[in-house]
Structure 1
Amino acid sequence: MAALTAFAAFASSQAIEELEIDLLLEALTQRHGYDFRDYDRQLVRRKLLGVMAERELKTVSALQERVLHEPGAASSVLRALAVNPAALFQDPVRAREAREVLGKSLRPVAVPKVWLAECTGVGDAWTLAILLHEEGLLARTEIFATLANDEVLAEVRDADIDAQLLPALQEHYLQSGGSGRLADYFELREGRATLLARLRGRITWAGYNLVTDASFNEFQAIICCRALADFGPMLRQRVLRLFNDSLARFGVLGIDRELAPGDAYAAAYQPLLENLPWYRRVG
């Protein structure tokens, strides 16, 4: 009996916490315009519990009270729920794959457009710009890097990195297929490093919400790896349909994992690398 009572109390506590999360996410949607309701719920829960621990809060309702009434609280929660920023050449294997796939696929296109959907910061965009430059494509390629969070978007437009990081990142750059010196792609000033203006100028930063916005252009390549992994099943299918609406025929799609047979428009894509989530739209 005691065990059943304890289990019932635990189940009730979990149900209340789920309701609190629902209300908090609804508040973020209604008050601030950022919709995380269809993100992977367990991931959202872990991130919210992390914010609560930092603020020494015992309930999600207490966090919601801060979000609604305390200046800056909503911003910190939105940042916590967003995808963590990627460092420059953070994933050299993935960068090598992008170099191989995009180098071949974009070369015949006169003016390729590449969409970094829900881009994970300047590290993500600058990595792509460097590898496209080394493939001889950047000068005629337009990179559209979009983010839903306006505050983060304002920061990345004028971002720089610690110049002392560049030597440590050189090895990752080489592992990605680079053959030069990573630091040569940066302007250095007072210990900070910024991507060269001629490379940076090929990147257009824009606000865009994958959850609510419609297709806004036709692209020869769409890349969305880290953000797509955070989405729940329904939102994932919605975004895959959006990408299909936005991708030119024979365009390249790079995502977080291989397409499943039941994924939206899965039959319209042909794998480009064996057992890796890079595809060409053929349907």
Structure 2
Amino acid sequence: MNDIKSEISSPKDLEKIEIDLFLQGIFEWYGYDYRDYAYHSIKRRIWHRIHAERLNSVLELLDKVLHNPDCMQRLTEDFSINVTEMFRDPLFFLEFRKKVIPILRTYPSIRIWHAGCSTGEEVYSMAILLQEEGLYDKTKIYATDINTNVLRIAKNGIFSISNMKRYTNNYLEAGGTRSFSEYYKVTNDKVKFDPSLSKNVVFAQHNLVTDRSFNEFHVILCRNVLIYFNRNLQAKVHQLFYESLGMFGILGLGDKETISFTNKADYYKELSRQQKIYQKIK
């Protein structure tokens, strides 16, 4: 017995085993695969839900999740990464105008995939940019996320008015050519973006971990999502993106992400090192 206990050298090791069992249980029962998410990030979210449910341990939460789908839904919300804003990282969108728009002009039609679109602010940002560049009418945007609740928000296009000052500044820094307020109408403490911005957008559930490619795209944007995955899962998702991009297609990542040090690095060239915009070349 002492020999067995010696293999578990600390409570942290035991906690890791419990969390591994927890994630495996969710995968086996619900089909949601969080096993390759960054460990420390997923651990924080599990403990947040443990405390919110007034439980005491990982295994207590596992028992409740397996027998209570509503609890599983709450956990899924915790695991979703929903930090976003209009024209987030404005210089990315400014560089997109300069480096990518000239390429897109050469295509008779354009397909763009926003992977992990959250509540849709960046989708509407791209629609505005494309409209100003005269390309929106020939573009189809596929906006996907694992979380159906945030997709519902994205489809409605209704956001808090309290964010509009920041979003307006972002828009101007991103090279916006009109008055940002022209794109939405104010109702009480909310704004609703013009329906014309979503007429060419398909909002759909898609799981980057378990689902496969569903089309060939000219542009894939997945910004500030991969940082929550471990190296193995990042490699899997990069393979998915590579398979989903047409030749000379564009991949846009978040400011803390890179194609460097992946097994796909040699298959792209940098269009913008600082803004993490890459073009598939083989």
TM-score (norm 2): 0.89
Residues 1:48 and 2:57 aligned together: no
Residues 1:254 and 2:249 aligned together: no
Q: Which amino acid aligns with 1:73?
A: C
Distance in 1, Cα, partners of 2:150 & 2:272: 33
Distance in 2, Cα, partners of 1:148 & 1:255: 18
Structure-1 residue corresponding to 2:183: 185
Q: Which amino acid aligns with 1:88?
A: M
Q: Which amino acid aligns with 2:92?
A: R
Structure-1 residue corresponding to 2:108: 110
Deviations 1:53-91 (A, max 9, x none): 334433211222232234522112111111124122332
Structure-2 residue corresponding to 1:3: none
Structure-1 residue corresponding to 2:16: 18
What stretches of structure 2 of length at least 5 have no aligned partner?
1-5
The answer to whether the Cα contact below 8 Å between 1:271 and 1:279 also exists between their aligned partners in 2 is yes
Distance in 2, Cα, partners of 1:62 & 1:248: 47
* Aligned residue among 92, 96, 99 for 1:98: 96
> Higher mean Cα deviation, 70-79 or 14-23?
70-79
Q: CA deviation at 1:166?
A: 2.0
Structure-1 residue corresponding to 2:266: 267
Q: CA deviation at 1:26?
A: 1.9
Deviations 1:246-273 (A, max 9, x none): 1011111112322224x13221111001
Distance in 1, Cα, partners of 2:147 & 2:265: 29
The answer to whether the Cα contact below 8 Å between 1:117 and 1:224 also exists between their aligned partners in 2 is yes
Tell me the percent identity.
Answer: 30
How many residue pairs are counted as aligned between the two chains? 275
Q: CA deviation at 1:38?
A: 0.9
Structure-2 residue corresponding to 1:4: none
The answer to whether the Cα contact below 8 Å between 1:258 and 1:276 also exists between their aligned partners in 2 is no
Q: CA deviation at 1:11?
A: 4.1
Structure-2 residue corresponding to 1:38: 36
Distance in 2, Cα, partners of 1:264 & 1:53: 39
Distance in 2, Cα, partners of 1:37 & 1:219: 28
Distance in 2, Cα, partners of 1:181 & 1:144: 26
Instruction: Give the 5 Å matches for 1:98-247.
Output: 98-247=96-245
The answer to whether the Cα contact below 8 Å between 1:269 and 1:282 also exists between their aligned partners in 2 is yes
Could you say what the CA RMSD is over the residues aligned between the two structures, in angstroms?
A: 2.2
Distance in 1, Cα, partners of 2:134 & 2:157: 25
Structure-2 residue corresponding to 1:5: none
User: Residues 275 and 92 from structure 1, CA distance in 2 versus in 1: closer, same or farther, beyond 3 angstroms?
Assistant: closer
The answer to whether the Cα contact below 8 Å between 1:114 and 1:222 also exists between their aligned partners in 2 is yes
Give the 3-state SS of the residue equivalent to 2:86 in structure 1.
coil
Structure-2 residue corresponding to 1:76: 74
What stretches of structure 1 of length at least 5 have no aligned partner?
1-7
User: Residues 143 and 11 from structure 1, CA distance in 2 versus in 1: closer, same or farther, beyond 3 angstroms?
Assistant: same
Deviations 1:147-194 (A, max 9, x none): 122343344322411234323421121112113221211133344322
Distance in 1, Cα, partners of 2:170 & 2:153: 25
The answer to whether the Cα contact below 8 Å between 1:105 and 1:252 also exists between their aligned partners in 2 is no
Structure-1 residue corresponding to 2:276: 277
Distance in 2, Cα, partners of 1:12 & 1:210: 34
Give the 3-state SS of the residue equivalent to 2:164 in structure 1.
helix
